[in-house]
Structure 1
């Protein structure tokens, strides 16, 4: 045991930097995996908790006021109902912020779909104008219990009694109205009704919706929302962040395992004589294997424990939503098990790769083999010929190839030629080194692509389906002409596209999707198309990926949608990039919708601003110009929720760079040790220490260059595939991936090559200046 500890201590002193990098890389990998687990838990469990505690309804159906919703209580598969409740559309304003809301007349606190009060209290008759506001709407309005909210244009005010969570779709400015519970007296003029259905089997959701629409009649149904939609919306960007972290964490773990495997294999090749001595003095093969295995398991364990401790103590203090996610995750039932299982899994994986490499050390014979020498009488650079009858010496990589000999006959430096020959001649070893080094570089390219794609969402929103910066709704009887005049009067408004968005029933009447009519044939809306062509003719439309998947249709198909009791038959001619409503959107021109249903009139304007205009300033100016008759909202950019991903990507790049550094140090150490054996031959043919150093530096640089080319060539298409696959699964659709600029990729490759050559220069120079007596002992 003492000899084993002394050997491990000596090896640690020799490879301090490599040990430190292994500990840091393992810590970074385990932290990323723990954060991925936290984000997955945060994305799923909060909504699931609210749904369970509130006995949430699986289906919410909005109907007309005259619909006979009482018939739904006897449907097969319906366990219980919430409501029906009368509803009215309204606008609430607070602290200069306005929001479209649905006032829901709720005489008693529900038993199904019961709002969970997070602050304040529930409704009571002593405060007839009191309301309870859904939490996401409360955050948008900056409203708290006790605040007074106004209803612009009515002269009415309401008092916030409480804020509550609900397992229903959340408020999104300009896209979905917020939810407000009020007493029936506070909803004097209801315009519709809503009923919630809690099912005996959630898997029957589509069937129950279809039956409900059949019973009520398609003309009576305005909108249908299901628990699957609410859950997917609640998970939102956190699930995406978890997927990104998990993907890169697993990739980095594999890269770290390969790096450890390569480091041990290289160290074994450089210490064959030492291992033979250990066996000669009584070490068994199992003891030799345990030396390497225990040493690297200790590094991995130290990094994993540090990562778990960091996540436990500082995880909830991470900036932004990442810290909130970790804080919630720490209170979930499976937190302790995950905090233990993830580090243990990482250590076991590294231990498996370590054991595979250490097994080779156990097979080293007690008597080291004789190193093969060069052919007798072989001509070497400089015209020197090995003397017959004497011990021959070998050149780096063995016998020179014909190409290398021709290169030496030119004006090329012998050091460059021999460095390239060293890499090419050791094909298997060089290929494995390039592969191990290319993997972290490949993942860095993927991470850079994710960063570039997010920047594209911010810098060029029109290319990802967001050409308009503002959404404007007219209130209080403001005419279409008056609204258009107000918009055209602003100098920073480039274009205003009239339109409307209605809920439409899909074929089979199992769900509702968004049917959007924007622009006219004379002034078409600039949709961002990924496939197909724009909708120019009658009955032509473009659709998001989410709708194509929902209806199982393709470009060129016809779809029949139902708005109230009016059918809309549209020809899908293109696929648009749709970041809203999970891509479940069909878009056409306003003229086409009016042609099919003349009763439809514009209800909104999508406003495109001039370059450099501030959306907030323009929104404030339009609101003031409209004297409270315009609701102006900035169009939400999905990249806003991905802002934590920038810091995550930066951290992952740092971890991957550490892993690449470990692999570089391994490659450099192996090349230097191999070069020490050839030092006599190189000095014998007249090469100076500087030229001998250049051989090692060139070999390392060529390896790094090959790895950079492979990593870039494979990482760019892989990044496109991964990002577009995520876009398809989220409903936005493919076509959103953006590769880093060629200059950035060249900079990455240059940094890898320059870093490799810089790291190799010092150890190579030291080896080249060794005394001849030391060199003779190394090759003896």
Structure 2
């Protein structure tokens, strides 16, 4: 082994605390970086690959066949900015009469002679393409289990305007652009269109510039200007499809980036502090090395290598941990695309590994460069004790405080090494910021889940009882349940003491131009329909013909609050106006909320309503349900206490947040530990003097802990505002990544008392980091300390 290697090995083994700190902080930073980078790639890589291979449509446009002819639409392919186009394809909306035990909803079918073409080359995954009337190819639906999806060879009877017809499923295909729910031959569309109605048309465009929403909107406007006024009924951007395809994975990226930034900054600060401290406490040893012939560059390389050894181990462990954590998060993306991606991305691993080691090298080299500049004679003569006079002003001020002398001595110690103390303040601040951010993120996510509240009590109309019925519930005879009389149910609800409000909810499926899949629609009755919903802009609906929707719906349809559009229910058009934007994550924001009277023309079955009841404060839900079931004894309806379901994605986010916060707080505490160890070793002779003058072990512990009080309080005070800013920015970005605007109740969640407690968390981190070196200082023998120079 070379002399330089021996110095490196000796330094790593001797400075165990510093070695552990460097290894842990690098491991955590690399873990978060690998996790975030892998998820960013995984969220889009499968979609982008498929989109490129299938020449996906940047813009899927739906046109009103009564306002534009096919030749006029074909001419739109030559608009400036359009790189390629396919169509026009005739379209219709059909409703299967029955399913395979799964939900039945309207779907948009497109008349298309073949799966290929310059835009949206559909991939047939099973069976074949439709070649004649009576045949249909269905889009693979990842949202339903395979056992619930129609299979090749199944007969698909239709209801609504096409009622009485039956289509045979001859194939299953996948369109990465999601341009249709199914495909038939073009001549089949006329038979599927309602009598007297005109079939719509679909055009698919690839744009020359399509990377941003503004570029997509520019292309859409140019296309709309090239066709007759009012002909463009709706358009969907590929950016919306890509966001939806990534599912919940995109939600993880913003908060992982936030933790990654914290981890990197803490790594730079703490590693720099560790190496600077090693140089400070090893000045005498550095002088000896130089006296033995080591050049300044060799000394710098030795101390840099002492940081690189544990950093390399930590980086490798971080890569492994990051890849292990990414696997369960990718389950949904794999289900969407039918892929089996593990999330392990070698180039991400190598990039993060190389970046981490380069950062450690640069930081350690900068901190160790002081060792190369030290003059041998001065180092051997002076040693490592801080120069007299450093922090004397702080010691004099602290001595005036009405506190025990041991405590005042500790309070003044951080001012003897101001730069070192500043780096520890920063590390504590980052730890406090991580804790503040984690608490805020958790509260925000819980606030999101609270917006999905179904009330305190739910009445299921005509629901057969499985297992023992709730106490007080009516006995249900075997056989199909009969819907209850809505008037009798409402009378029982309003007459029940403890009722604050109620809403009846009737779900149905509607379609609109430009969207290929059905929209889940909730029709409301009652005086509490807005309960649990948070408005972003506009107002809640107040009369028939008004609807409230979420941002993803507005984005997908290219509409805004105040616009009018036409919804279709089993072939019956319904003119509605958007009066408000609501925060509603159900159906990924593609849900329509309206009054039941809006759908009166389609005769919704109001007897199939579910009733959600809000209780007055202090009402016992169990007693209320028992009494209400007694009142409902004359009708077949059952009341139960509403159960809150935990969102799996929120649980995963909370778990990851808690884990990463714990790791960052631990690293911050280790940074404090490292500083206190350095201070104690530098002042070990002073410690011996204090003990010789009568300082007890308990007073020694108090002095050491007091030495971190100032840094802890300052770090907490600085870190809390940083954490609040991180929470606001990250939560907003998570909402935007999912396509939502968030209400103030989700973002503004901190209270003054909570912020004070979180600020004191910085002091807690500092004290936890100081406990071990305080115990070591208390156990140090006086004679041993006095002999140390």
Per-residue deviation, residues 213-232 of structure 1 (Å, max 9, x unmatched): 56765666543223233223
Name which of 714, 720, 730 aligns with 2:722.
714
**Cα 1:361–1:426 shift into 2, 3 Å:** closer
Task: Indicate the residue corresponding to 1:56 in structure 2.
Answer: 56
Q: More deviation in 349-358 or 69-78?
A: 69-78
Tell me how far 1:145 sits from its aligned partner: 3.7
Kindly report the root-mean-square deviation, in angstroms, between the aligned alpha carbons of the 2 structures. Answer: 5.3
Task: Indicate the residue corresponding to 1:421 in structure 2.
Answer: 412
Q: Does 2:105 align with 1:100? A: yes
The answer on whether the counterparts of 1:131 and 1:158 sit within 8 Å (CA) in structure 2 is no
Segments of structure 1 that go 5 or more residues without pairing to the other structure are: 171-177, 375-392, 473-480, 614-624, 628-633
Scaled by the length of structure 1, the TM-score of the pair is: 0.74
Tell me how far 1:423 sits from its aligned partner: 3.4
Q: Does 2:176 align with 1:167? A: yes
Instruction: State the alpha-carbon separation in 1 of the partners of residues 442 and 283 from structure 2.
Output: 45
Tell me how far 1:456 sits from its aligned partner: 2.3
Instruction: State the alpha-carbon separation in 1 of the partners of residues 539 and 85 from structure 2.
Output: 47
**Cα 1:298–1:213 shift into 2, 3 Å:** same
Task: Indicate the residue corresponding to 1:73 in structure 2.
Answer: 74
Task: Indicate the residue corresponding to 1:25 in structure 2.
Answer: 25
Tell me how far 1:139 sits from its aligned partner: 3.7
Instruction: State the alpha-carbon separation in 1 of the partners of residues 338 and 12 from structure 2.
Output: 38
Matches for 1:288-367 after TM superposition, within 5 Å: 288-309=299-320, 316=327, 320-321=331-332, 335-366=345-376, 367=378
The answer on whether the counterparts of 1:441 and 1:712 sit within 8 Å (CA) in structure 2 is yes
The answer on whether the counterparts of 1:446 and 1:719 sit within 8 Å (CA) in structure 2 is yes
Q: Secondary structure at the match of 2:149?
A: coil
Per-residue deviation, residues 179-199 of structure 1 (Å, max 9, x unmatched): 133567699532443423234
Instruction: State the alpha-carbon separation in 2 of the partners of residues 327 and 756 from structure 1.
Output: 49
Name which of 666, 674, 679 aligns with 2:687.
679
Matches for 1:349-388 after TM superposition, within 5 Å: 349-366=359-376, 367-368=378-379, 370=382
Q: Secondary structure at the match of 1:98?
A: coil
Q: More deviation in 239-248 or 211-220?
A: 211-220
Name which of 602, 609, 614 aligns with 2:612.
609
Q: More deviation in 764-773 or 734-743?
A: 734-743
Tell me how far 1:589 sits from its aligned partner: 7.3
Instruction: State the alpha-carbon separation in 2 of the partners of residues 404 and 563 from structure 1.
Output: 75
The answer on whether the counterparts of 1:27 and 1:303 sit within 8 Å (CA) in structure 2 is yes
The answer on whether the counterparts of 2:43 and 2:333 sit within 8 Å (CA) in structure 1 is no
Per-residue deviation, residues 487-519 of structure 1 (Å, max 9, x unmatched): 8599799302689998889xxx99x99999976
Tell me how far 1:255 sits from its aligned partner: 1.1
Task: Indicate the residue corresponding to 1:528 in structure 2.
Answer: 534
Aligned residues, how many?
710
Q: Does 2:95 align with 1:90? A: yes
Scaled by the length of structure 2, the TM-score of the pair is: 0.73
Tell me how far 1:98 sits from its aligned partner: 0.7
Per-residue deviation, residues 67-117 of structure 1 (Å, max 9, x unmatched): 654121122236342452342231465453213131525463322333323
Matches for 1:20-419 after TM superposition, within 5 Å: 20-63=20-63, 66=66, 68-71=68-71, 72-75=73-76, 76-77=78-79, 79-82=84-87, 84-91=89-96, 93-94=98-99, 96-104=101-109, 106=111, 108-112=113-117, 113-118=120-125, 120-123=126-129, 128=134, 131-139=137-145, 142-143=148-149, 145=151, 148=154, 161-169=170-178, 179-182=181-184, 188-191=191-194, 192-199=199-206, 201=208, 203=210, 206=217, 209-210=220-221, 213=224, 217=228, 221-309=232-320, 316=327, 320-321=331-332, 335-366=345-376, 367-368=378-379, 370=382, 397-398=391-392, 401=395, 403-407=397-401, 410=402, 412-419=403-410
Q: Does 2:669 align with 1:656? A: no
Tell me how far 1:290 sits from its aligned partner: 0.5
Per-residue deviation, residues 692-719 of structure 1 (Å, max 9, x unmatched): 2320122134433432343224312431
**Cα 1:130–1:503 shift into 2, 3 Å:** closer
The answer on whether the counterparts of 2:399 and 2:409 sit within 8 Å (CA) in structure 1 is no
Task: Indicate the residue corresponding to 1:774 in structure 2.
Answer: 784
Task: Indicate the residue corresponding to 1:452 in structure 2.
Answer: 443
The answer on whether the counterparts of 1:65 and 1:190 sit within 8 Å (CA) in structure 2 is no
The answer on whether the counterparts of 1:321 and 1:644 sit within 8 Å (CA) in structure 2 is no
Instruction: State the alpha-carbon separation in 2 of the partners of residues 549 and 155 from structure 1.
Output: 36
Tell me how far 1:62 sits from its aligned partner: 3.4
